[in-house]
Structure 1
């Protein structure tokens, strides 16, 4: 099986305090951090055995909080990136941690989804981290939440980044009809694919690869079809990929998040993103007009 696994452990702590995030400036206890480390290490051990069963894996770490400030996430990326049956290992990160480990990664399989948080970090500091990843030859996408107060910072970052680094903008959906036509035009000039994320996709009862070859794994091995669907379909370590896999149509009314809707076959987004689908890098980096 060619399987995509999203992994989220017990971590809920972050070194940033973004106003739109419930995990800003929180601190996990030593016990919680130990539990998270044990969960990550168990997942890596499980992944190491899957090549023997003929499986190929793509892994995306999307913790509640910032993973790379903890060494076990760095070690997991390094180890997984060198496994011959792992096609991709990526992580969602604010890039605030030391990147001294970059040379240990396999650049043909490792990738970064880097989120820019204006107000939490100076542009030049974040840009330097992006360029460090870029110089190492490791693919990365860069993005930010499209709140109006961040528009100038997003435009400035786009101008500073190399043109071959894709900058995406996540639509702010907490308020209905948030964007004016002028806002939409501006964001489209920054991210030519912004309209894809700005949409909400009717998904109830529709086909989705989630639960078939895409699985959302929680620390102890609990597996859900989708990160927004609370229904548990099994346990990774007990049931294995074959025991978990089944055709499952979506149970949610709409799908509105990138890591969800990209797995709806009807949208055919693999034609746009190719092998960069997981880390959100289009097959062809679009030219920007802003």
Structure 2
């Protein structure tokens, strides 16, 4: 079986203080960090045995908070990248940590989803981190939340990055009718795929790969169809992939997040992103 696993453990701490994020400047206790580390170790151990069962996996870490400031996430990425049955391991990160550890990644197996947060880091430092990934030949995309106060910073970032690095913009949807037509045109000029994210997709009862060959795994092994659907569909370590896999139409009214709607077959977004759909790289 070929499957995609999104993994999110107990980690909820971040070194940034973004106003649109509920986990800004959150500090986990030592007990929570120890639990997160133990959960990730159990997950990697389970993944290690899946090759013998004939499974091929792609893994995306999207923790609440910043994972790469913790050694266990860096170590997990390195180990997973060297497993033959792993097609890809990727992580969502603000790129605030050093990148020398990436020497241990297997070339062609790892990718980064790098998020730029104006006001939390200097543009020059973030661009330098992107340049480090670029020089090392590690595939990555760069993105930012399209709040109006960040428009200029996002445009400046686009000019500072190499032309072949895709810069995506996440539409800010907390306020209705937030963008004017001019705003949309401005962001579309930066991100040619901005309209994909600006849309909300009617999804109730529609076909979706989530729950069939895409799974959202929480730290203890609890599995849900997707991160927005709270219904538990099973347990990774008890049921295994064969016990979890089932055609499950969407139970939500709409899908408005990239990591959700890319798995709706009718949108055919694999034709846009190819084999870099997971890490959101467009070329």
Describe how 1:213-232 pairs up with structure 2 within 5 A: 213-232=213-232
How high is the TM-score relative to the length of structure 2?
A: 0.99
Q: How far apart are the structure 1 equivalents of 2:131 and 2:103?
A: 14
Compute the displacement of 1:277 (Å).
Answer: 0.4
Q: Which residue of 2 aligns with 1:49?
A: 49
Shift of 1:187: 0.2
Cα separation, 1, equivalents of 2:151 and 2:35: 38
Structure 2 runs not aligned, ≥5 long: none
- 1:239 matched to 2:234? The reply is no
Q: How far did residue 134 of structure 1 move? A: 1.0
Matched residue, 1:288: none
Residue in structure 2 matched with residue 276 of structure 1 by the alignment: 276
Matches within 5 A, 1:1-290: 1-282=1-282, 285=283
Secondary structure of the 2:49 match is helix
Residues of 2 paired with 1:26 and 1:81: CA distance?
29
Residues of 2 paired with 1:135 and 1:39: CA distance? Answer: 33
Q: Tell me how far apart the structure 1 counterparts of residues 213 and 134 of structure 2 sit (CA, whole Å).
A: 30
1:98, distance to aligned residue in structure 2 (A): 1.2
Rounded Cα–Cα distance in structure 1 between residues aligned with 2:219 and 2:265: 28
RMSD: 0.5
Task: Note the alpha carbon deviations across 1:142-191, whole angstroms, 9 max, x for none.
Answer: 00000000000000000000011100000000000000011000000000
Q: What is the rounded CA distance, in whole Å, between the counterparts of 2:185 and 2:142 in structure 1?
A: 20
Secondary structure at the aligned position of 1:101 is classed as helix
Q: Distance in 2 between matches of 1:26 and 1:203?
A: 33
Q: Give the unaligned 5+ runs of structure 1.
A: 286-290
Moved over 3 A (4+): none
Tell me the CA shift for residue 107 of structure 1: 2.3
Distance 2:126 2:103 in 1: 19
- Is the 8 Å Cα contact of residues 107 and 139 (structure 1) preserved in structure 2? no
Q: Which moved more, 1:94-103 or 1:194-203?
A: 94-103
TM-score, reference length from structure 1: 0.97
Deviation string for 1:229-277 (max 9, x for gaps)? 0000000000000000000000000000000000000000001111100
- Distance, in Å, in 2 between the alignment partners of 1:22 and 1:189 is 30
